[in-house]
């Protein structure tokens, strides 16, 4: 028999043992959690869920943000359950609080009217600060500068399925910009003048519109009126560089200057959603069907049985919000196959 001859190793070849032990590819990404010190119990539950369903395996770090210093208890309890590095940051004053140029008489009148009309958070200034911060400032925080991708997590949310893939790498490898799990209608009373300002901005800057945008998801009449559909932004996986880019930044500054975050109660969900739908192309927006997700009072549960089983999902697919009359899944789906 001919003996097997092993050729001498070329020093330029990669040693196979090196490949076997190499870390799997990872995205430049982090979780972002805005929270109050009083949100600690609910935040621990959310982080416990994401660790058990995803992060014990995929190992992405965390950034926590707050307009005041996090308490020692908050930092201790979070650090105790996170399997990866955690950073705690304070938000710069001007990124959070109501600017001086807001007409306080007009803002007060706006809040009083919403309280009378029973609009949720209608009388709250801190809720408005939060919505404005999430709309136009979180991605400028110094702790986020080193990252390209983020996954937003809130207190008291639930992940109902094992996430057996890396959503950040999925976004990166498929040229995605914005990912969501739940889409629904906004309360019109919180944004009475928003769409008018959006239309004015588009007239000033038609060059920012993406060629193949998602206008037909948000409007039933080519942009004349807003149908109130938006992505529920308490869950988001997205590209920080998109918010940092010229189009979204110009759009946010234009909206901010109208004062509607305080005179009305513009939410970061419609502001992000309209921005993503107009300035990204529709194939850059991704529906993460596999991610079973709950934020009170709604749950997205994977519809396909294979997906539900593969994720060992605990949610009830029959109760998935996708089928709720208040869901905008039908508007989302109608633009997919055009």
Active-site annotation, residues: 236
Between residues 166 and 294, which has the closer beta carbon with respect to Mn ion?
294
- 154 or 172: CB nearest ligand GDP: 154
Task: Tell me if 172 contacts Mn ion by CB under 5 A.
Answer: no
In angstroms, what is the minimal distance from the CB of 67 to ligand GDP? 5
- For ligand GDP, the closer of residues 36 and 57 by Cβ is 36
Q: Choose one: 68-76, 226-234, 265-273, 328-336; the region binding Mn ion (CB under 5 A).
A: 226-234
Footprint on this chain of ligand GDP (rule: CB under 6 A): 34-36, 39, 66-67, 126-127, 130, 154-155, 234
39 binds Mn ion (CB under 5 A): no
Stretch that binds Mn ion, among 32-40, 72-80, 154-162, 277-285 (CB under 5 A): 154-162
- Cα–Cα distance measured from residue 90 to residue 75, given in angstroms and rounded to the nearest whole number: 13
Tokens of 214: 């998602």
Q: Are strands 149-152 and 29-34 parallel, antiparallel or unpaired?
A: parallel
Residues for the chain: how many in total?
338
Q: State how far the Cα of 304 lies from the Cα of 289, in Å rounded to an integer.
A: 9
Report the alpha-carbon distance of residue 182 to residue 231 in Å, rounded. Answer: 6
Q: Reduced to 3 DSSP states, what percent helix, strand and coil does the chain have, rounded to the nearest 5?
A: 45, 15, 40
Copy the structure tokens of residue 36.
Answer: 């109050």
Minimum distance of ligand GDP from residue 38's CB (angstroms): 9
Q: Please, which of residues 53-72 interact with Mn ion by CB under 5 A? A: none
Nearer to Mn ion, 154 or 289 (CB): 154
Residue 66 Cβ vs ligand GDP, minimum distance, rounded to whole Å: 4
From the CB of residue 62, how many other CB atoms can be counted at a distance below 10 Å? Answer: 22
Cα end-to-end span (Å), the chain: 65
DSSP calls for 187-230: PGGG-TTHHHHHHHHHHH-GGGS-TT--HHHH-SSTTSS---EE
Is residue 154 a contact point for Mn ion (CB under 5 A)? yes
Minimum CB–partner distance for residue 162 and ligand GDP (Å): 24
Q: State the minimum distance, in angstroms, from the CB of residue 130 to Mn ion.
A: 10
What phi and psi, each to the nearest 5 degrees, are found at residue 34? -90, 130
Nearest residue (CB) to Mn ion, 63 versus 107: 63
Q: Given the rule CB under 5 A, which residues bind Mn ion? A: 154, 234
């Amino acid at each position: 028999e001919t003996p097997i001859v092993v050729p001498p190793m070329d020093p330029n070849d990669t040693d196979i043992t090196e490949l076997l032990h190499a870390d799997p590819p990872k995205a430049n990404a982090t979780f972002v959690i805005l929270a109050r010190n009083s949100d600690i119990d609910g935040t621990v539950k959310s982080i416990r869920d994401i660790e058990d369903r995803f992060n014990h395996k995929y190992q992405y770090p965390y950034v926590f943000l707050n307009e005041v210093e996090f308490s020692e208890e908050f930092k201790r309890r979070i650090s105790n359950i996170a399997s990866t590095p955690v950073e705690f940051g304070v938000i710069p004053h001007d990124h959070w609080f109501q600017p001086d140029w807001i007409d306080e008489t007009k803002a007060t009148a706006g809040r009083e009217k919403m309280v009378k009309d029973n609009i949720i958070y209608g009388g709250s200034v801190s809720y408005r600060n939060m919505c404005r911060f999430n709309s136009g400032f979180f991605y400028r925080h110094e702790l986020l500068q080193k990252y390209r991708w983020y996954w937003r997590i809130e207190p008291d949310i639930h992940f109902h399925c094992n996430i057996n893939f890396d959503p950040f790498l999925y976004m990166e490898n498929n040229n995605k910009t914005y990912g969501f799990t739940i889409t629904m209608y906004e309360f019109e009373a919180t944004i009475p003048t928003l769409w008018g300002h959006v239309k004015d901005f588009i007239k000033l800057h038609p060059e920012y519109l993406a060629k193949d945008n998602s206008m037909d998801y948000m409007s039933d009449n080519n942009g004349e009126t807003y149908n109130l559909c938006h992505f529920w932004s308490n869950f988001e996986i997205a590209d920080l560089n998109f918010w940092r880019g010229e189009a979204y930044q110009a759009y946010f500054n234009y909206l901010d200057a109208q004062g509607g975050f305080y005179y009305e109660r513009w939410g970061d969900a419609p502001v992000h959603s309209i921005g993503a739908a107009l300035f990204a192309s529709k194939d850059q927006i991704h529906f993460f069907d596999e991610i079973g997700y709950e934020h009170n009072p709604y749950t997205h549960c994977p519809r396909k049985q294979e997906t539900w089983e593969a994720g060992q999902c605990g949610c009830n697919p029959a109760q998935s919000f996708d089928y709720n009359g208040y869901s905008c899944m039908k508007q989302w789906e109608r633009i997919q196959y055009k």
